[in-house]
Structure 1
Amino acid sequence: MPRSGAGSRAVIALTGIGTTVALLAGCSAEPPVPEAEAPVVAAVVSEPQEREILQSVATVLEGAGQGGAPLGSRLTGPALTMREAELKVADAADDPRGLTDLSMQMQQVILPSDQGWPRSSFAVTEQPDARTTPVLMAFDQAGARDQYKLWAYVQLASLVTMPRFAEPGLGSATVLADDTSLLVPPGVVAGQYASVLTVGDRSKHAGTFTADDALRQRLREDGREQVAQIEEQDGEGRFSTAFEPVEGAVKAVRTVDGGAMVLAALRGQETLRAEEGWQLAPVSSSAAALWAGGAGSDVLKTSYHYTVAWYVPPAGSAATVSLLGFHRVPYAVSGG
């Protein structure tokens, strides 16, 4: 589970203005030249400001569908896509319990140190109960006059240990998509992981990622369950997945060891095939709500929005890229 704060405190060293005056016999003294002052490292968003941001986002989430401010006023990017998809499923199933709990009670905040824009902050929620893991959220401020918006959220994997970040008062730096100081640049991680999810160990990137993580286990279990239902009726079934990254949907923040936490969006499709003439229907309640009693088929395709978070070690590390968490929601179900 996440640990609050950083493991070691960074020290801000403020270099005072020193003067060195060289006096030479028979010569007048040169005027003192001040030394350059070291930059101050500090977060550009305070913890009280972050709490105000969280409350503003929570208000919009609570009012969604009830005549409140539109989701787009405080959600953007993958978060807006995911929440709209969740609301669609909840409406179709007439069951609001399918919505991810996005309460803004936080156990950890990761504040930005970047002076420019866009800026990103991150936070981890308190664990609501023993059955549910905390949620990692990313927030984005596009420009100086823009509001902070919820950009992405993922459910942390069970028993995961979060990487360590700088103290909130110091702030953590954004890592650019093409940064080569990491084992894999942030902008490349999602594409490589999509390859692994699609073809497994046959992917040339399989060795870059920790083997058999929580998402791959989930996909394998889903496939077995769906195929088993066909086999129980003396049929034969096949299950496959295909993934692709969402272009430009990536954020990364520096960890104290020189690595980074990376969040990115993917699209995934699960395909279940049975023998000709078979009448397939979705297994999960969320996909079934979108199916709404559609005509049966021997091929069933379910499309998902995914948001995934990883820890990426620094370049030269013997460690692998490890999954921190993921969240998915179906947005389309079709046959044939």
Structure 2
Amino acid sequence: MITSRRAFFTAATATALAAALSACSQDVPTSSATGTPTPQPVLDSDRLTAILERVQTGLDAADADKNADALAGYLTGPAARVRKEEYQVASATEDDSFVHTFTTTSQAGTVALANDFPRTVLTITDFADDEQGYLLALTQDSARDNYQLWAWTQLFAGVEIPSTYAPAIGTEQIAADDATDLAASPQEVLDAYVDALNDPDGENGKAFADDVLRQRIAAERAVDLSEAGEVSVTAKAGSDGFSSLRTADGGVITMTTLSFATVYKKTVAGSTLSLSGSTVGALMGDDQEVAGTVTADYDVMVAFLIPPADAEDTTATALGMDLVLASVSRDDSQAPAEEETAD
């Protein structure tokens, strides 16, 4: 495993890689009436740099005015949705720090070997020694579309990630249900991780490391509302799909989404349960009292490392995440009944 922050992706030149990996190098496809063209790297390093600069320009312009409409053509999928949600929270709280800023300047990246669409690119941003880098996934949905930022995650401290191939070489793009030569498919890993979030003492809960997201959800559940009510948290897998590329050791880096809902429920009639002063309260508007239930829904982008099937340790690892409070809803009809008083 590579621990140096400057060695997240392999920095070997295309020539050196081609010599060392001649069995995996890609020849220029020959014309054939019946054969399928050999998959080629979808981008080279110069084009990847230009794409990232373009995305940065569009993102900066949208951020300046917190204008979600201006994200079109630059961000797509969960990235566009989460950014819009960040703008909403920043406006409600009057705190722009809820818009998670990062540079798209790439330390290095890897690209899919593909002939068809969509096409996936993964890259890690440059960052200072005292910071955590961001892992970015970009996608191109068709030949007529520009590459757009599909998701980002901030890496957890101390994660170790194997190297991947430089853009001139490219790497295999993995489908959601593909477990070929892997410890598990991307979908299976996501489902297991969601189970770990919902049942931290269960088998999957004990398999995954105690990362920042697990700690956040544990903290939400630990809030003591016993004098007025109760709190519960439930996670579920997202429906955005996956962006997954093979690593040099045969594993996979995959990015996807999940969500969790924190429900605040008033159970003691006559008590006061207020969420004022919190981010959830800010999104409730003027009335920040819980009469029945208030549900805070969180949107999460998450990245995993899936080991190859023949690895010594086949446990998948959560690499990083980013989350935002997506929405808040209330149901006053769930208010506890007032106790009747005797005549």
Deviation of 1:59 (Å): 1.4
- Residue 139 of structure 2 is matched in structure 1 by 140
Which whole-Å CA distance do the structure 2 matches of 1:198 and 1:121 have between them?
Answer: 31
Structure 1: 5+ residue stretches without partners: 16-38
Of 83-92 and 280-289, more deviation after overlay is shown by 280-289
How many positions carry a matched residue from both structures? 304
Residue in 1 aligned with 2:236?
244
- CA RMSD in angstroms, aligned pairs only: 2.8
1:32 maps to: none
Structure 1 residues 88 and 66: CA distance shift in structure 2, 3 A = closer
SS in 2 for 1:117: coil
Cα shift at 1:276: 1.2
How far does residue 61 in structure 1 lie from its aligned partner after superposition? 1.0
For residue 213 of structure 2, what is the amino acid of its counterpart?
L
Matched residue type, 2:243: K
User: How far apart, CA to CA, are the structure 2 residues paired with 1:90 and 1:121?
Assistant: 29
Shift of 1:255: 0.9
Matched position secondary structure for 2:146: coil
> After superposition, where does 1:264-279 map in structure 2 within 5 Å?
264-273=256-265, 275-277=267-269, 278-279=271-272
Match of 2:323 in 1: 328
What TM-score results when the alignment is normalised by the length of structure 1? 0.80
Q: Deviations over 1:14-45 (max 9, x none)?
A: 89xxxxxxxxxxxxxxxxxxxxxxx9886331
| Residues 1:284 and 1:46: Cα distance change in structure 2 (over 3 Å) | farther
Counterparts of 1:249 and 1:271, CA distance in 2:
26
Q: Measured at CA, do residues 329 and 69 of structure 1 come closer, stay the same or move farther in structure 2, by a change above 3 Å?
A: closer
Matched AA of 1:313: P
Partner of 1:57: 55
**Runs of 5+ in structure 2 lacking a partner?**
26-36, 332-343
Q: Using a 3 Å threshold, how does the CA distance of structure 1 residues 72 and 279 change in structure 2: closer, same or farther?
A: farther
Deviations 1:116-170 (A, max 9, x none): 221111111122573x421111000011121001000111111222232123321
1:13 corresponding residue in structure 2: 22
State TM-score, norm by structure 2. 0.79
CA contact (8 A) 2:8 2:161 kept: no
Shift of 1:315: 2.2
2-structure distance, mates of 1:289, 1:129: 34
Q: Is the 8 A contact 1:306 1:329 kept in 2?
A: yes
Equivalences for residues 97-176 of structure 1 within 5 A: 97-127=97-127, 130=130, 132-176=131-175
The alpha carbon displacement at 1:108 in A equals: 2.4
For residue 84 of structure 2, what is the amino acid of its counterpart? E
Matches within 5 A, 1:242-321: 242-273=234-265, 275-277=267-269, 278-282=271-275, 285-297=278-290, 299-317=293-311, 318-321=313-316
1:211 counterpart residue number: 209
Q: SS of 2:243's equivalent?
A: strand
The offset of 1:240, in angstroms, is: 2.5
Please say which structure displays the higher CA radius of gyration.
1
Deviations 1:74-124 (A, max 9, x none): 111110110010011112122222211132222221222223221111111
Letter of the 1:330 partner, please give it: L
SS at match of 2:199: helix
CA contact (8 A) 2:137 2:149 kept: yes
Identity %: 27
Change (3 A) 1:4 1:163: closer
Whole-Å separation in 2 of the counterparts to 1:279 and 1:301: 17
Moved more, 160-169 or 280-289: 280-289
CA positional deviation for 1:72: 2.1
Q: CA deviation at 1:68?
A: 9.8
Q: Does 2:93 align with 1:93?
A: yes
